[in-house]
Chain A
């Protein structure tokens, strides 16, 4: 694997997107452009939300940020790695080591235990069996899932599944956590609990988190809100996130 690290060791930039365009071909010669040249930067340790209605292009953007897809044109650098130049196998390694995905529908592998699910990214990273089991247990403890770690996904509640998914996202200590509507399928109390875990990861471990959501209220909890509409960024604003205020509480 040949992922070239940024020569600027002390760079504070985690995500750097410049003039990102994305088009889909829906039968030649029709071309449908979803993203019309986006520019934004996410700094290390930042908790950012990307908000938009459905059809705004936020899913497409998430795929590009998550290195699941490549932009049609534009430059995207993730933690110093130029996505455009990376081969498919390098993108796999990138997703494995630098990105922790949290999906709305949890996407746990059925038929295997919570523990095995958390071990999976470490297995793909080539970590030894005992080492990854140990780490998976530690991660599950962080999300209070130790008592149910040997249960299979269909024996877990939605909130429990999402906690396992967050533990899995943390498996290879990624540069960013990419959460796509993580509370979308949960009731408000459970959703609250999941958001608290994100806050904890952000504050205590300094994780960079990108939250993609359609909910303006949820986005208010983050440091910075990027609003997307019809494939353009129509605004950037600061959220109500205030760690000091939280501490007072």
Chain B
């Protein structure tokens, strides 16, 4: 009961001195706003990095051919340092098809998919009269098509013979059909398209239409996004004239029971001992997405924490501002305090009154700060082109923290008020 009364008195006091109240709150507002803003940006980035990595496959191992380091200094994530013997990578240095077959046979329990990707050139365009669409020709092997789990809207996926015989077939997105065939799937199926990439032309027949999913890194919503034209892996290799070469990189999708970190070493050792021990300049490295994700998350977390601590300092400064203004306010209201004491206020009720006042200032400042911080954070995240993820936890903490600042920095002035001698206080002019 006394609390609500105190809150009303505090609010009346704030209203009577709006300018002063605002200036006092400013420190708290800026402090809380920067902490919340940093948390929002940090959280958003973490969410984006994680979902992107998950899309890439947290269970994936990236296998690639890399230059050998002479001193064999290799970090846990497989990145090598030091000076290696430098020469151009030749076809002999690549992972051959035979290596892959024997490798897959040996570890068939651990490996769910071997993803092979072959992009044909850079993004190109398909033009038909005034209609055009941006596309990227991407060759996927059967594992990759299965793993990417495309949602088919019409037609069919690739058949076994498409992969084996490198048929000139393709799957296009619904966006593509929208632009080129007014969204008529039946009209699109069976049509031959001609993709122009840097002056080269590639022709494929449409056999399937999949649902386009915008990826996290695309800026805004474009009405002409570059969508994939999927072709069988072998077809893409033929178009690139690389059908007889090995692979410089591939992705392994492991089964759920497999421990990726240790399996990464097994894979690296398998290739390097069996196939690369006599190679003078190149070897195979394996990067586990899980460990990359962990180290990235902890990196973001550390940066976020460091920035928050710096922002937190302004909260302390703001708290000192509140304390200062409370001391001024108590001096101004000495006579009021004396009167209240004469009317029967105990020391503790005076103390409670002024602590409530200080908490109310900090809480209002905190709430304004949260609003400002969330807004700033969201604007910043939007400017970076990402989706904002507001941290509810940080808002709860901010509210609690601003109240704690109110109590902490309000206690000394309130106690001073409580201990005033009623006679001196009454006589104060």
Contact = CB atoms under 8 A, between A and B. Distances in A.
A103 B9 CA distance: 22
Interface stretch (B124-132, B173-181, B342-350, B405-413): B342-350
Nearest to B349: A124
Interface string B1-37: 1100100010011001000000000000000000000
Contacts of B422: 68-69
B336 interface: yes
Contact of A107 (B1, B12, B335, B423): B335
8 contacts: A68-B422, A96-B343, A107-B335, A107-B426, A120-B343, A123-B5, A124-B340, A124-B343
B351 interface: no
A157 interface: no
Interface residues of A, number: 29
Contacts of B342: 66, 68, 95, 101, 107
B47 to A, nearest CB: 48
A112 B343 contact: no
B341 A92 contact: yes
Nearest to A101: B342
A121 B345 CA distance: 8
B387 interface: no
A97 interface: yes
Contact of B344 (A63, A88, A93, A108): A93
Majority secondary structure, B binding face: helix
Contacts of B338: 107
A126 B12 CA distance: 22
A68 B423 contact: yes
Q: How large is the interface on B (under 10, 10 to 19, 20 to 34, 35 or more residues)?
A: 20 to 34
A111 B5 contact: no
| Nearest 5 CB-CB pairings of A with B | A96-B344, A107-B339, A92-B346, A124-B344, A121-B343
A63 B423 contact: yes
A101 B341 CA distance: 11
Interface string A133-144: 000000000000
Contact of B426 (A68, A88, A168): A68
Interface string A104-117: 00011111100000
Contact of A111 (B16, B347, B349): B16
A109 B344 CA distance: 14
A168 B12 contact: no
A88 B347 contact: yes
Interface in A55-87: 63, 66, 68-69
Interface string A166-210: 001000100000000000000000000000000000000000000
A109 B5 contact: no
